[in-house]
Structure 1
Amino acid sequence: MPKDRDQLKKGNGLPHNLSGAFEAISALKNDIVHNGPPTCVINSDGQIIFANAAYEEIADEIARTNLLENAISPPYTAGEIEAIKLAGGQDPDEYIIIQNGKSAHYLASYHHLDHSSNTTGATAVVLRPNDEITQIKQALATVTDRLNDMARLVSDWTWETDSQLNLTYVSPQVQKILGYHPSELLGKNIKELSLTATRVFDDPRGRGIHKPFRDEQLKIETRNKDERLFLVSGLPFYTRNGGEYAGYRGSARDITEQQHQQSALQVAKETAEVANRAKSEFLANMSHELRTPLNAIIGFSEMMSSQLLGPLGNKQYHEYSHDIHFSARHLLSVINDILDVAKIEAGKLELLEDTMDPLKLAVSVQRLMIERAENAGLKLKLSLPSKLPMLYADQRKLKQVLINILANAVKFTPAGGIVELSGGINDEGNFEFVVTDSGIGIAEADIPKAFEPFSQIDSTLSRQFDGTGLGLPLALGLVRLHGGELSMTSQPEKGTTVTCMLPASRIMADAGNQA
């Protein structure tokens, strides 16, 4: 014990090794203060009684802030500062110092010093760099700039309201569309912009339910008192902490011109449909008036041509009567086709359906067309199985279909070519007649035109080959009346294939061909 007392006396009451340690600690503290972050000591009169080198570098910039006043009496307690930060506000002890043209963020902390003769009531202020805040603010500024650019570029205008539906944000595009500067609309209730907005935003049962909505049509009045139609979409949003309803965010797209165009197209469509029905009904009703005089011309010219009542006075009269008879029959055929197409369009053509034999039908058509094919220097082949199922269909209408298809094939196939009629049940279980020729063919892009009434693929064909262009359109209409479809494949200079497909429901399961 005496030895310890002697050691305490030598070190002013402390062991020698502890005294050296305290000196080292004191030197370390001094080094930290002088070479650390900006630090100063302010007395109760607001005068700086100490400042380190880092503080001196930014002293002029700090003088422009309220740092000195806050050091004497900080405006907020630590608890109040935390509450402000939780609510999304900026830390009140954050200071932005401009250094070399760049913003530097610092957070100030205040330390009241122990009472002594030199530092009575003094406060040490340490400014801690806050780089994290700087990075967050830079990222936020980048995102804000990006959103602002997008809001300017898109054609829609965007908006946001508070919980009372008062507008808190409107994008710049609103000025181009409604004529209002965004600042003019801030604070205005969104229901004031549109009389029809109530049904979108109001909860009719008052249950406080806020639902998202999409593409609701709202009429909004412009500055010039014009009404424009918008598709408006909205989404309710809520506070981050309490999850309380905070308002709506959404977008609005102007569809006024689009609506006008759609209305005009609808009116034009309805007008065209009425005109088409009127045309079709007129032609269908003209059947008797057109056919009766033609039948008289055909009958009398036939009598004259055959000299039924005696010889004609001049041989040329006989030739003329034959020409009259031929022309009248051709005209009657054209008129019949026109009237049939008109009846199909008017929905007035009815099928007389019964059980029929497809093989006998094909043979009958071949007999009718063989002479025309031979006169054109063509070979007309019939390639059907000897046994085929019976069909339930209108035999006369299907005969007309096959004649029209074969007539086209003969017309567009040069001498020496082949036209073939085949048929049977295909892989899908439907029945089909197929007409194939080795004729001039057409380009794939022109195939749809071949099924349009009165259409010719090009002017050279219309001069080289006679016809009204009603054969295939009429055949298509008659096949569709049976629930089937007419299709074509073709290649220029290689030939054409036309397929007449009848649905499986037309095939009689019990009966087979008896040929």
Structure 2
Amino acid sequence: MKGARIFRTIQVKLIIIYVLLILIGMQLIGVYFISTMKTSLMESFTNNLNEQANILTKFVEQTLSPSPQNANTTDEQTLEDLRGIVSTLFSINEAEIQVLDASGKVLTTSVPSHQSYVGRKNTTLAVSRALQGIRDNEQEMVGEDNVRKKVVAKPAFYEGKIIGAVYIVASMNELFETINRVNGIFMSGMLIALGLTGILSVLLAHTITNPIKGLTRHATQVAEGRFDQQVPVHGDDEIGQLSEAFNEMTGRLQEALSAIEEEKEKLASILTNMSDGVIATDEHGIVAVTNRRAREMLDIEIGHGVPLTELLGLSEERMAQLRGLSEQVIMIRKEKPEYEHNYTMRVTFTPIHRRDKSASGTIVVLQDVTEQEKLEQSRREFVANVSHELRTPLTTIKSYAEALEDGALQEKELGERFVGVIRNEVERMIRLVTDLLHLSRLDSSQAPLRRQETDIAEMLEEVADRFSFQLRQKSIHAEVQIAEEITPAWLDRDQIDQVLDNLVSNAIKYTMDGGSIELSAIMTDAGSISISVKDTGIGIPKKDLSRIFDRFYRVDKARSRNMGGTGLGLSIAREIIKAHGGTITLDSEWNEGTIVTFTLPTLQERGTAE
């Protein structure tokens, strides 16, 4: 397998390509050269052989012709002449020359060992064709000694008649030896060229593949997150330009990844610190991302990989409707022990679209609207309570006014009583409107605090003195207890007096004759002043304690209204204490009494407003 991988490398492929190109090129050149050289040598050999055959034919025609000059020559002399011509003038290395008469009998031969052929007929095809008067008689043959030979036969004429023929058989050994030597030289040159080409191709491939290997190493390092490495640039060629482009790409990629990481951290920080819950799902509705707030709202530890239907408690059909092409909003209510009412979430489904308009997921935003729902409910109750509180006295005023108009005004005693009722109801409405305006100013921070140095003990004593008449009327014992460590505090004396007046007034209203009320002030461990109003009255049921500071909330509505209360006193007290930076609490047991405690920070610097 390792050897197979080697042949897959670019360097080896380049070497093989170069060597194969050179090999194919030299083979084509060699084939063409050898073929051309062989053809040329063969033509030269054949032409030389034909020329010698033609010359010999001329001598044979002169010798064998029955001319007057040959009339006195005997046959024996003629044969001697032919032997002399063949042996002396036309001696061809490794060639046999035969002179034949018109019948095809061999008159003489140049090969001594073939003297037995003399007087016999030569029946070869070339001779037969020559004796028939055909001049171009050439053929190649392989002799008994396994040597390739060239055969040429030429006819001899005298006055248009064939008087004989010349038959030449020449060995082609020397010709093919020459061709073989040329082939050997060419093969040696080709091998040397291939060797040099291989060496040069290795060097050339090395110069090409080394930068590519370097690019590969650096690309691997970049893939591993190491962007500080730079590819060396060795020239202005294509590889050099590629290296420069790679370095530039690495720099831009590093900048892009840094920007992405920065944006990712920002997004993670935003998601983590969002007051709303965020859930991201894939196209199949499986949760991919949840932030901390979403997990808190859904009361889960890990939401990743869970179907959204399971997290929100929705059916598949309902979820399919919500994952539409547009934004969808639903309300989900759950019961939680820490909430008095149902825990309410506004869930917004926003689809994520690809470029082809298909949905690739959904973003779900969870908003806790429990307090908003509670405030909306409180607002509705507040409007209803205000309407009710105003409608009752207005109805009474209208009724008594109509009675006066119908004649009650003529009766002095009855008319005065009706006018007194109308006056009381108007005063009650004035108190209600005054309290509402006071609450409105507190809510909108339009009632600035005018702080002054106040002696706590003196303030509580004055409160007790203001209610001494009511206390004596109901035989209620009032006691003021001030801790020794109490120091003067900077506060808005008028508003704190209003709080104390409201608390003491409530304590007197709901304490039976002969009861007791205690006003106390102590220092807390946190350095604040804690002021308490404790009574032995009828108390407040446990079910009403959580709403006792709500506006217009009354434990016994009919009784409270008959006592002249507006249901806003404790609400105003809470807003005043909150404006001072303190807290107010109420603890009560039914038929055992009530204790209201509020804390005020002790400010060391004097101020006129906040």
TM-score by length of 1: 0.41
TM-score by length of 2: 0.35
Larger radius of gyration: 2
Which structure has the highest helix share of the two? 2
Which structure has the highest strand share of the two? 1
